[in-house]
Structure 1
Amino acid sequence: MRTRHSENVEFVLWTGDIIAARYNVNEDERYQAIRNITELLRMTFSSHFVFPVLGHTDPAPSESLTNLWSHWLPMEALQTLRNGGYYTIEQTQSKLRIVALNTNLFTVREEKSIHARRQWEWLDAVLEKATSNKEMVYIVGHAAPGSDSRYNVLSVDANGKYLRLVRRYARIIAGQFFGHLHVDTFRVIYDKEQPVSWALLAPSLTPHRDFGSSSNPGLRLYKFDSDTGKVLDYTQFYLDLAAANRADKASEWVTEYNLTQYYGLRDVSAESLHNLAEKLRFNSPQETTFFAKYLRAHNVKYDAADNCDGACAHQHFCAITCLEHISYRHCVEAAASALAASGKSSPLVASLINIVLTIITIIIVAK
């Protein structure tokens, strides 16, 4: 990315899970691992800001962690990062504000804590200020809202509260960017059945391999209007692991696809992504072909046996469009009943999402 696009990079979003869950070492060695990755990013993008967020496998906010990232963040951001793991970045040359969340405070374990309460109060105040200042906002976090896998991070209450907040401030939220699932997908948020906001989930920079949801490494480059914050497009890059392992020369990252061209989108908006989701319902041969295209991107072109049947395909649709816990469950149950009645559902439904814990980076480019 530095070789190809360093002159155009505006900033880097680093969406968490720096430490793998199986990296069971003492606290000093965990911080050393974070320090190593921080230094690698700092040397790679020496003249750019990197905005990190904490993943669910990462340490809690601390003075040590804040010191590691102090060269990227202003004093006000360092204060809230140190205390709660969240912060905001005000872009002085544009009306774009970055809001970095600590989604670990949305878990069942943390949702009643004083830090969780303070983050909600802070987030509402930041979005209200952005509204008054006529700013557009990027929300960045580790775990996206939704209810689609056993690796869920957000509690039922926190998930619902976040969605209500997004609906309230949808007109100023120019984009939401998350990681966690280590696959390539998206989410659409509705208000009174109308699509009002979207979230893009990028795949992980390191690969994972698991039953039903393996993927190649991916890295994403967004294009956006630096004045308005409007996301115009993105290019997904990937590393073909099988080819890299066969080759005698150094592996090469190549372009996987361009969002608007790949899916034939008019623009990047809640309405366009809603229309894209409608094509994934898997009710016709054309939709079956379109879903196969989505699944290739979802797995970052990882060449694995296609074990996603009709019920599995509809799970993807439900995950994208039904972010409330109860609506997701109703969506899946309704699809399962319909497929069972039609005889199209197989006894074994592939697992939707399986996670390994790795670092994810998203790189954003200006228009």
Structure 2
Amino acid sequence: GAKWTSGVKSPAGKWGSVFNCDLPYRTFDVAMKHISNTHKDLDYIVITGDMEAHDMWAYTKEKTKANLENITATMNKHFPNTPIYQAVGNHEGVPSDAFAPHGMPEYDARGPQWLYQILSILWSRWISPDAVKGVKYRASYVEYPSPGLKLISLNNNYCSVLNFYIYINQSDPDGTLTWLISELLDSERKGEKVHIIGHIPPGDDYCLKGWARNFYEIVNRFENTIAAQFYGHTHYDEFQVYYENSNPAGRPTHFNFITPSLTTFSFNNPAYRIYTVDGGYKEASYTVLDAETYTTDLNEANSKNQEPKFFLEYSAKKDYSLSDLSPASWNALIDRLAVDDDLFKKFHRYYYRSAYEPNCASSPTCRQKYVCALRRAKSYEKLNFCS
């Protein structure tokens, strides 16, 4: 038979390690303490899901419930008066990614209602009773962080390629996209602006093609109503641009912010982001004016045996020399990244918050992989967006 040898290549650091490792709770707590002490003027906080570590084989409903309760309690401790709006991540499912829609046979036995019930309780502190009902049904909801701004938390685990329950019928699990359209139509009529928060970026191939295609059409249809979109899931610092008629040579219509993760998995230093939004007055655009990313150096914290120190890594507007954070500006940045070595090295460093893959800029294949991904807000369409 096969012989196996095991050995520790690099011991896990007290504060975490920049490998295929997750973050210890103590580092999460330090990060929350730092944010609450440093950023006193936060209007609200957005969390785009995934509270579980990557030991999927060990997931149980009890463990997930305990993790969610622990993290919520920690957030409430550090931010007692700051609204927190969350989206549900694929790792909240047990098994991971298991989000059955109501129409599935055996829904009563296999559905995620146990999870949605937990989320509805934990999130209820900051969302309305109507929003809580939405969480209980499909783990999506609507809230108003500010007059004239509707925040839509979208459970898009209904597009996860590993959500095997939706392979029975992928068209629109739990009517989530139909519901989204009705909310966007309502806001369009009222002249509201909308922020969408979700977990899986629709341009990532983790999101099923049919769902992503429909979502792309929805975003372009409501281009003037949706002011910003925020996703997570990949753990990396990136973005995705939408185009009119899905033509990458055409007019950029929208983009996805993909915010870097606190977890180190994989090869990342922890990060969080502060968004400055145009708001607080009548007729505000609620577009993002700047995105400032903060990170830390865990190798330093571990070697000095001291708490990680978070610092401003970069401002999107300043460090990418953007006149504004419009779709056109992000698209122009992609063009620059394709040809400017120094700029690409900077982007690649921000992407991981570490020195991972140091020679990527000098490899056309490696570089193209990253640049191409930025043009894709629709999954499984590399040929169209990267030709």
TM superposition score category, shorter chain reference: 0.7 to 0.9
**Any runs of at least 4 consecutive aligned residues in structure 1 with deviations exceeding 4 A, and if so which?**
none
Would you say the 8 A contact 1:280–1:314 is kept in 2?
A: no
Identity %: 25
Alpha-carbon displacement from aligned partner over 1:225-272 (angstroms, at most 9, x marks no partner): 223212110211101111111224322111111111100000111011
Aligned twin of 1:304: 356
Alpha-carbon displacement from aligned partner over 1:193-234 (angstroms, at most 9, x marks no partner): 20011111111112123xxxx211001111112232121102
Does 1:116 find its partner at 2:173?
yes
**Structure 1 residues 325 and 48: alpha-carbon distance in aligned structure 2, compared to 1, 3 A threshold:** closer
Does 1:131 find its partner at 2:188?
yes
Deviation at 1:163, TM superposition (A): 0.4
Aligned twin of 2:232: 179
Q: Which structure would you say has the larger RCO, counting Cα contacts within 8 Å and 6 or more residues apart?
A: 1
Q: List aligned pairs for 1:181-330, cutoff 5 A.
A: 181-192=234-245, 193-209=250-266, 214-227=267-280, 228=284, 229-282=286-339, 287-300=340-353, 302-308=354-360, 309-325=363-379, 327-330=381-384
TM-score, length of structure 2 as denominator length:
0.78
Residue ranges of structure 2 left out of the alignment (5+ in a row): 1-34, 94-111
**Structure 1 residues 266 and 143: alpha-carbon distance in aligned structure 2, compared to 1, 3 A threshold:** same
Tell me the secondary structure at the aligned position of residue 3 of structure 1.
Answer: helix
Aligned twin of 1:20: 53
1:82 aligned residue (115, 122, 136): 136
2:201 aligned residue (136, 144, 154): 144
**Structure 1 residues 103 and 258: alpha-carbon distance in aligned structure 2, compared to 1, 3 A threshold:** same
Would you say the 8 A contact 1:17–1:58 is kept in 2?
A: yes
Deviation at 1:331, TM superposition (A): 4.9
Residue ranges of structure 1 left out of the alignment (5+ in a row): 335-367
Would you say the 8 A contact 1:16–1:55 is kept in 2?
A: yes
**Structure 1 residues 233 and 181: alpha-carbon distance in aligned structure 2, compared to 1, 3 A threshold:** same
Tell me the secondary structure at the aligned position of residue 52 of structure 2.
Answer: coil
Tell me the secondary structure at the aligned position of residue 57 of structure 1.
Answer: helix
Q: Which stretch has the larger CA shift, 74-83 or 111-120? A: 111-120
**Structure 1 residues 62 and 238: alpha-carbon distance in aligned structure 2, compared to 1, 3 A threshold:** same
Tell me the secondary structure at the aligned position of residue 196 of structure 1.
Answer: strand
Whichever residue aligns with residue 175 of structure 1, its letter is A
- Distance across 2 between alignment mates of 1:66 and 1:312: 43
Would you say the 8 A contact 1:238–1:256 is kept in 2?
A: yes
Whichever residue aligns with residue 199 of structure 1, its letter is N
Alpha-carbon displacement from aligned partner over 1:319-340 (angstroms, at most 9, x marks no partner): 11133345413555x4xxxxxx
Does 1:103 find its partner at 2:156?
yes
Aligned residue pairs: how many? 318
- Distance across 2 between alignment mates of 1:186 and 1:73: 28
Aligned twin of 2:121: 67
Would you say the 8 A contact 2:301–2:309 is kept in 1?
A: yes
**Structure 1 residues 115 and 190: alpha-carbon distance in aligned structure 2, compared to 1, 3 A threshold:** closer
Would you say the 8 A contact 1:84–1:115 is kept in 2?
A: no
**Structure 1 residues 246 and 181: alpha-carbon distance in aligned structure 2, compared to 1, 3 A threshold:** same
Deviation at 1:307, TM superposition (A): 4.1
**Structure 1 residues 25 and 105: alpha-carbon distance in aligned structure 2, compared to 1, 3 A threshold:** closer
Would you say the 8 A contact 1:104–1:153 is kept in 2?
A: no
Aligned twin of 2:82: 48
Whichever residue aligns with residue 356 of structure 2, its letter is A
Alpha-carbon RMSD:
1.8
1:58 aligned residue (87, 92, 103): 92
